[in-house]
Structures are given as C-alpha cells and as structure tokens.
A = this chain, B = another copy of it.
Amino acid sequence: MLERTIIQSRGCKNVTLPNGKPGFQFQIRNPNYRGVQASLVDGIDIKLDGLSYEFDSALWTLQGETYRLEQLRQSVDVRWQLDELATITLPVEQPIQCGVHDLFVCVFIRRPYIPAQFSRSPFKTSKKVVVVDKDDSASNIKLGVSTYSYSGDINTLMTLEDVMADMADIGASGLEMLSEGDIPGYPNISSTWLDNWFRLLDQYTLQPTNLGTWVDTNMWLDRDLTVAEGVAQIQKDLQIASQLGFSSIRPKFGVTSLDLLPHPIWREAVERSLELANKLNIVICPEIHSPTPIKHIVTQGYIDFIEETKTDHFKLIVDTGIFQTAPCDDGHEGIELKPGQKRPPFLEPLKVPMADLAEILPHVHFIQSKFFEVDDQLNDLHVPWSDIVQTLEANNWSGWLSSEYEGRRESYRGRDQIRRQHALLRSLLNQNNH
C-alpha cells in the first residue's frame, strides 16, 4: 500500500546525479483524486530544512523515465497514475546528512475542468523525513528489523511486502518475524504463501533471522501445558522456522512470577527438542527481557543449561529493554494502571551494566534492539546505544541487532522510528569502523 501522507517515508535518500553532483531524492503519491496525463503536472515547490527551491528545480521520474518539468509539460503518453509514485530528484549543494529533515512540498497540477483562475491547483504537504546512511564498513554487527515494530500497521496500512521494502530501503538485511502473527493460517502454511515468501526475500535481499514463537503454558484456565505439549509446540515451530529459512526461534514461555521465572516445563521441553534443533541447525533462544536482568536466577539458569547440555543450539536473545536508563510509560497496550497506581515492576528501567552484557556475550546469539523513541536529533530517550554498540564492538561480538520498536502505536510511527533508529545505529557503527 502507498503511505497515506503525500510524501512517502520510503525512498528518501541521497543520490548522485548524472553530472556527478549530489541530489536529494524522495517519493510522493499523486495528491489529486484522479490520475493525470503528466503534461498536467506543473512543478513542485520544495522547502528542505528551511531552504526553498523553485517549482521547476526538481526532476520527475514517472513510469520509469526521468523528466525535467519542461519535458513533462510537453509529454504525450506519460501518466501519473493514482497507484504509482513519482520520484522527485532535487539537485542540492551538499549531500543531506543522515537523520531527520523537514520537508515541505507544494505540488501543482493543472485541472482543465476548473475555471482558469483556479485551474493550476496547489497541493501542499509537509513531513519529517529520515535519511539513512547505508555506508556501513566492515562491522561484525548486522542490522535487521522485527515485524513487531509495525504492530497495528501490518494488515491495516502495510502488507508484509511493504515491511520488507521498508527494510531494504534502509539497507537492513535481517528480517525477524512473529510466527503466530505474520504467517497467515499459522501453523499451516500454504504453498502460495511460501512461494511468495521466497520471492520477496529474494527481491528485497533479506535474510530471515529469528522467528518469535510462544509456548502458552497457561493456554487453558483449568490446566497448564504438559511437557509433551511444550515439546510439540517447540518442534512444530522448529519445523516452520526451518521451512522458512530462519536460523533461530524464540519460544516465549508463560511465566510464574513477577520477575518472569519461566514455567517449569521449559527445561525438559527444550532439552527434548535439542536433537531436532541440531538436525535442522536452528538455535533455540530464550529472551532475556526486562524485568529480568543478566545477573539473575533466570539468566543464570539458561547459562547453566547451556553448560550442562554442552549444546550449541540453545543460546540467549538479549532484549535491549534491560539497558533502559529511563522509564517509558506509553505504548504498552493492554497494560492498564489505575490513576495513582505505581508502574508495574517490569516497566521500571533496569539499567543493566555493560559489564554484565560483556560477560555473557559468548552466549548471546541475537540482540533485539528494543526501543521506544528516537527524537529529531537522533537521541534515543531510553536506551544507551552508544554504550551498547561500543560494548559489542570492543568484545568483537558478531550477530544481528534486530530493531524492535515498542513505542506508541500511532499509524506509521513504527515505520518512521525504525528509520530513525537505523540512522542512529548506522552513525555509531560507521563512526567506530572508519
């Protein structure tokens, strides 16, 4: 689906013009209610970070061909359809900096059926757009995105393909997904869906990373899941992950305490699934998630399990929410506090020290880059990315940082915030590797 705003988030980037000079490129959808002959397009005023550009400054790409305004005006068989985007390329003095920018446009379309005085119709709109610098040099850290970031928007405003196109647009290469969520008909997978899945992975050059799965131990009110049922669930999800090309699953067990002690079946259910995990070469990963810190019986229990079983198919996923330095009180849908009621403990910032992270890094398979808000200056309000990236690089950790936006679920906010977080992470990764 196209984005509802006229200026699209996807596609904002620096380009090099044929003459070797820099250009700023973005995409807009047709602001009118009908498609038009391109000869009726009459230019676009642009203001970028306060700097204005004349209506005829930009190049227009429509239906695969690029035109100056004068060429558009004289064009015969070119159209700007309602379901097609126009790519606007603006010559600029310097490449635009990685980060958030204020973009205003006024698109002019001539409408012959409106009296001449009003026929050249101005369509004005503005948007904060995010430019992501994709130039990552040789880091062992790869950037991915979880579909969780787009919760509420997938199936309503965005298709899975839109999510994948967004990822590709910012140079992310790893796709994390939710089993019971993103796979229509889960746990059954249609061959049509599967064919399309591989086609899309190929088209957007994406690699499936981690598949979020669940073991709903309290699925029923009158009894808990048995170990055998837990095993069946994990094994089912291992098979699905393997079929779809994922390299790990994260079975989220039901919990039995405020600090997230997993349901006691976890150990046996995992142990009995290790052989299959090994055979399919898929790593089973419990998630270290706030309010469970690293120095904690739960995390220690997982590490003990690794050491006792000597398996290399059970490792940790760290959710960066545990490094939060400030609380985030919005965006937790389904958690409701009465007026005056204290924030539940699992929403308190844990501020886990970097030394603790460094200590367990050999056991960490995957990192969910949980975050809530990156502001216009690329400051994360809650999570200390600079410290985290430094710790990972200092310890030569290699693996995925998979973005997990969990802030307010306003329409398209995930899409925008993911771009901001990647702009931030890229700047940190590039900084340390140049």
Question: Which of the 9-residue segments A53-61, A114-122, A198-206, A235-243 touches chain B?
Answer: A114-122
Contact between chains at A118 and B335 (CB < 8 Å): yes
When distances are taken between beta carbons in the complex, the residues of chain B under 8 Å from A141 are none
Give Cα A254–Cα B33 distance, bound, in whole angstroms: 16
Shortest Cβ gap from A70 to chain B (Å):
10
Give Cα A46–Cα B182 distance, bound, in whole angstroms: 28
Determine the residue in chain B with the shortest Cβ distance to A34.
Answer: B181
Identical chains in the assembly: 2
Interface string of A79-107 (1 = CB under 8 A from B): 10111000000000000000000000000
Contact between chains at B216 and A112 (CB < 8 Å): yes
A residues 140-160 touching B (CB-CB < 8 Å):
148, 151-157
Q: Given A335-B118, A411-B4: A79 and B32 within 8 A (CB)?
A: no
Contact between chains at A180 and B35 (CB < 8 Å): yes
Determine the residue in chain B with the shortest Cβ distance to A1.
Answer: B156
When distances are taken between beta carbons in the complex, the residues of chain B under 8 Å from A34 are 178, 180-181, 212, 214
What count of chain A residues pass the 8 Å CB interface test?
74
A residues 5-31 touching B (CB-CB < 8 Å):
29, 31
Contact between chains at B180 and A36 (CB < 8 Å): yes
Determine the residue in chain B with the shortest Cβ distance to A160.
Answer: B83
Q: Given A82-B154, A156-B29: A119 and B218 within 8 A (CB)?
A: yes
Determine the residue in chain B with the shortest Cβ distance to A216.
Answer: B112
Residue positions of A touching B, CB distance < 8 A: 1-4, 29, 31-37, 39-40, 73-74, 79, 81-83, 109-119, 121-124, 148, 151-157, 178, 180-182, 184-186, 212, 214, 216-221, 252-258, 260, 263, 333-336, 344, 346, 411
List of 10 A-B pairs having minimum Cβ-Cβ separation, nearest first: A112-B254, A121-B334, A33-B151, A112-B218, A34-B181, A35-B180, A4-B156, A115-B258, A83-B155, A113-B252
